[in-house]
A and B are shown apart, each in its own frame.
Chain A
Amino acid sequence: WCVPLKKSVSVTFPGDVLKNMTDTELAESYLKKFGYMNVQHRSGFQSMVSTSKALMTMQRQMGLEETGTLDKSTVAAMKAPRCGVPDVRS
């Protein structure tokens, strides 16, 4: 007795701030924005942290399983609303 499935049409909405980044792009921007990657130290020393290591640090900060990979729960955490203050301070 379920309602017959409607054929859903996808429409372009003008001005839609669709953050249609890929998960990898999302992760890259998130890890940089919140200080996990490309940390500019006071001494000017630029430490290039690998993405995997940066992910591990972020997963530890967020109390997630530390897999070092871009798993589902990590992507969901990156999309969740949050405070703009970086988690890792340089």
Chain B
Amino acid sequence: YQTFEGDLKWDHHDITYRILNYSPDMVASLIDDAFARAFKVWSDVTPLTFTRLFDGTADIMVSFGKADHGDGYPFDGKDGLLAHAFPPGEGIQGDAHFDDDENWTLGKGPAVKTSFGNAEGALCQFPFLFEGKQYSTCTTEGRSDNLPWCATTADYGRDKKFGFCPSELLYTFDGNSDGKACVFPFVFLGETYEGCTTEGRSDGYRWCSTTDNFDQDKKYGFCPNRDTAVIGGNSEGEPCHFPFIFLGKKYDSCTSEGRGDGRLWCATTSDFDTDTKWGFCQDRGYSLFLVAAHEFGHALGLDHSNIRNALMYPMYSYVEDFSLHQDDIEGIHYLYGSKTGPNPSDEPKPEPDTPTTESTTTTTTHPVDPSQNACQIDKFDTITEIDGDLHFFKDRQYWRLSSKTDGKLEGPFSMSKRWPAVPAVVDTAFEDLVTRKIYFFSGTRFWVYTGQSFLGPRSIEKLGLSSTVEKVEGAMQRGKGKVLLFSGENYWRLDVEGQQIDKGYPRLTDQVFGGVPLDAHDVFQFKGNSYFCRDRFYWRMNSKRQVDRVGYVTYDLLNC
């Protein structure tokens, strides 16, 4: 193995990455997965962790580009150079670029992930049988809406399992239309277009308008390549047109006729002799996972190896069941050491204070139902420690387990008396141990109470949570001024003083809090233990991150 001059490497172990754009060759979820698996190749053997960011600047910025893509190291069309990456450091250092004139697959021909249909997103099975005929590509046969589909088992007639193939009639990617499908015909610069086009772009990507008039609405998206799309030639991305005429003869499939290099090609119109529109047919393509694992090796500080079977060997070769070569492992261990347990997270410096907005909300107080018995409640909205007492919230009311009167349960109390601005259902709440401020989260908004005065509602995006987070389901104080916020399978670390999420988040909950339910509806910290609640149960994790107890909220915590 080789490292770069001066043993360039990252000075931290929690590396971040961001995918800047996608290739039309595979659906985004397959590309996401290929990159995640490629990073896992390295995190499996080192103390490094890789966290995906969805905006801002990450250590490793990953993108696709063609020919001259802006870094002074142009790609070279199909084949030849596949990708490149820069050694660790600031700016373009650490970034990885992939040549989008290549045919990106999983290494064994078109990876066609279906959508809709009844196959739950399974990949197409090629060849498949339909009405006695074998198909090795998606087809519109049997449909009047011209949507390409495929079977996800070898025999559609027997299994009836199918899904729709990538098509601009179903969805687009990137652009500014949130994946909406193309609208045909559409007007662009006064011209009418019946299909995707590269017009107006210099990077050769095919795009379409997602309304009938781009000039007016400026709404667009990029067209996914169909599995019958040609590669290169003078019609990149256009589907083959079968049958087509070539030198007066009719062809129903790809051919190498007319070429000296034996490569299969097809026409993208019905008559090559008159239109000469063509491209290369789908081949096995290059495994995005394997090439990415190699490039990320560069982005971590490894140079090329001269061991032919090593991942860091410069030339590409497809491997079915990939595993890192000892040479690669020794190289990356030289830079970062071997895998150890989960790293203690070092505390970044607190951010300068950020201004907060005052807002007022009129509320009405709600009478409490004294007969409501906390022991009959299966699932509390949230549980949290305030002033040293455990509070249980449910539908505008709360109960308090007083630490002063040896655990006697008090309540119910009306929330609107003490925190009038907070809505009926609280997803989570926590008291900041430094300022004694109380944060309430409901849906995508939050309120901050200091005694009787409050700020909010404000959007959780103000804290740096991404717009995809629908609600914050848990909060766990971590040392002075840091709080972990949980949602779904992820968690973020909030710098309370700076009111901002720390860099390098989100992280996967189960990677750090192993053994707790990933669908916990509530998470809180109490007396040095972390509690993950799901329905009537809780999982208690001690400070050594061991789950040392699973029990009932009512019997064990409420002493019912």
How far does the alpha carbon of A18 sit from the alpha carbon of B258 in the complex, in Å? Answer: 14
Residue of B nearest to A10 (CB): B260
Instruction: Decide if B233 touches A83 in the complex (CB within 8 Å).
Output: no
Instruction: Decide if B304 touches A85 in the complex (CB within 8 Å).
Output: yes
Contacts of A9 in B (CB 8 A): 247, 257-258
Q: B306: CB under 8 A from chain A?
A: yes
Instruction: Decide if B306 touches A85 in the complex (CB within 8 Å).
Output: no
Of B78-86, B128-136, B507-515, which stretch is located at the interface? B78-86
Of B145-153, B167-175, B308-316, which stretch is located at the interface? B308-316
B187 to chain A, nearest CB (A): 27
A-B contact count (CB 8 A): 91
Quick one: which of A16, A18, A80, A89 contacts B315, CB cutoff 8 A?
A80
Quick one: which of B78, B265, B294, B315 contacts A13, CB cutoff 8 A?
B265
Residue of B nearest to A85 (CB): B84
Quick one: which of B82, B85, B307 contacts A82, CB cutoff 8 A?
B82
State whether A83 and B83 are in contact (beta carbons under 8 Å apart), knowing that A16-B233, A17-B232 are contacts in the complex: yes
Contacts of B75 in A (CB 8 A): 84
Which residues of B1-57 are within 8 A (CB) of A? 4-5
| Pairs across A and B, CB under 8 Å, 19 listed | A6-B257, A14-B234, A14-B278, A17-B232, A18-B261, A61-B314, A62-B308, A77-B315, A80-B315, A81-B79, A81-B82, A81-B315, A82-B81, A82-B314, A82-B316, A83-B291, A83-B304, A83-B315, A83-B316
Mask, A37-74, CB within 8 Å of B = 1, is 00000000000000000000000111100000000000
Instruction: Decide if A85 touches B303 in the complex (CB within 8 Å).
Output: yes
Quick one: which of B259, B291, B298, B307 contacts A10, CB cutoff 8 A?
B259
Q: A11: CB under 8 A from chain B?
A: yes
State whether A87 and B234 are in contact (beta carbons under 8 Å apart), knowing that A17-B78, A77-B315, A82-B316 are contacts in the complex: no
B6 to chain A, nearest CB (A): 11
How far does the alpha carbon of A17 sit from the alpha carbon of B276 in the complex, in Å? Answer: 15
Among A62, A77, A81, A85, the one with the most B-chain Cβ atoms within 10 Å of its Cβ is: A85
Instruction: Decide if A83 touches B84 in the complex (CB within 8 Å).
Output: yes
Instruction: Decide if B259 touches A13 in the complex (CB within 8 Å).
Output: yes
Instruction: Decide if B82 touches A84 in the complex (CB within 8 Å).
Output: yes
Q: B73: CB under 8 A from chain A?
A: yes
Q: B295: CB under 8 A from chain A?
A: yes
State whether A13 and B303 are in contact (beta carbons under 8 Å apart), knowing that A8-B257, A83-B82, A84-B82 are contacts in the complex: no
Contacts of B247 in A (CB 8 A): 9, 11
Quick one: which of A6, A61, A80 contacts B306, CB cutoff 8 A?
A61
How far does the alpha carbon of A82 sit from the alpha carbon of B83 in the complex, in Å? Answer: 8
Q: B77: CB under 8 A from chain A?
A: yes
How far does the alpha carbon of A61 sit from the alpha carbon of B306 in the complex, in Å? Answer: 5
Q: Which residues of B does A touch, CB under 8 Å?
A: 4-5, 73, 75-85, 99, 102, 232-234, 247, 257-261, 265, 276, 278, 286, 291, 294-295, 298, 303-304, 306-308, 314-316
Mask, A3-23, CB within 8 Å of B = 1, is 000101111011111110000
Instruction: Decide if B306 touches A81 in the complex (CB within 8 Å).
Output: no
How far does the alpha carbon of A8 sit from the alpha carbon of B234 in the complex, in Å? Answer: 22
Contacts of B257 in A (CB 8 A): 6, 8-9
Contacts of B294 in A (CB 8 A): 83
Quick one: which of A6, A13, A34 contacts B276, CB cutoff 8 A?
A13
B162 to chain A, nearest CB (A): 34
Among A8, A83, A87, the one with the most B-chain Cβ atoms within 10 Å of its Cβ is: A83
State whether A13 and B278 are in contact (beta carbons under 8 Å apart), knowing that A62-B306, A77-B315, A82-B315 are contacts in the complex: yes
A72 to chain B, nearest CB (A): 16
Beyond contacts A11-B259, A62-B315, A83-B294: 14 other A-B pairs, Cβ-Cβ < 8 A, are: A17-B78, A19-B76, A62-B308, A80-B315, A81-B82, A81-B316, A82-B315, A83-B291, A83-B295, A84-B82, A84-B83, A85-B314, A87-B314, A89-B5
Among B75, B82, B99, B315, the one with the most A-chain Cβ atoms within 10 Å of its Cβ is: B315
How far does the alpha carbon of A81 sit from the alpha carbon of B4 in the complex, in Å? Answer: 22
Contacts of A15 in B (CB 8 A): 233-234
Instruction: Decide if B258 touches A10 in the complex (CB within 8 Å).
Output: yes
How far does the alpha carbon of A47 sit from the alpha carbon of B305 in the complex, in Å? Answer: 23
Contacts of A11 in B (CB 8 A): 247, 258-259
Contacts of B314 in A (CB 8 A): 34, 61-62, 82-83, 85, 87
Instruction: Decide if A63 touches B83 in the complex (CB within 8 Å).
Output: no
Instruction: Decide if B85 touches A85 in the complex (CB within 8 Å).
Output: yes
10 closest A-B pairs by CB: A15-B234, A84-B84, A11-B258, A84-B81, A17-B77, A82-B315, A81-B316, A63-B308, A82-B314, A80-B315
Contacts of A89 in B (CB 8 A): 4-5, 303
Contacts of B276 in A (CB 8 A): 13-14
How far does the alpha carbon of A63 sit from the alpha carbon of B80 in the complex, in Å? Answer: 19
B523 to chain A, nearest CB (A): 43
How far does the alpha carbon of A44 sit from the alpha carbon of B80 in the complex, in Å? Answer: 29
B137 to chain A, nearest CB (A): 22
Residue of A nearest to B85 (CB): A85
